[in-house]
Amino acid sequence: MIQKRASQMADVLRCAIRDSGLTSYRIAKDAGTTPDQVDRFLAGRDLRISTAGRIAAALGLELKPISQQKRGK
């Protein structure tokens, strides 16, 4: 279950990066990382959650835990 959520989060973040219209260089500079790291992530590699959070913030997004759905409702 956790792996599925992490995969979904990565997919959403990849889409946000692509849809932003910003270059890897601009995103990396704003996030305090390297363009190579952004490019590797876009190509399918994993990121540390702290780096993902900084990239999300650079795009005006916030990483939040997914609330567990209430069972039986």
Rounded to an integer, what distance in angstroms lies between the CA atom of residue 71 and that of residue 73? 6
Count CA within 13 A, CB hemisphere, residue 59.
Answer: 26
Number of domains in the chain: 1
Q: Domain of residue 20: give its range.
A: 2-58
pLDDT score, position 63: 83
The answer to whether position 71 is within a domain reads no
Contact between 52 and 13 (Cβ < 8 Å): yes
Full-model pTM: 0.81
**Tens of pLDDT along 13-72?**
999 999 999 999 999 999 999 999 999 999 999 999 999 999 999 999 998 766 654 444
The answer to whether position 73 is within a domain reads no
The answer to whether position 12 is within a domain reads yes
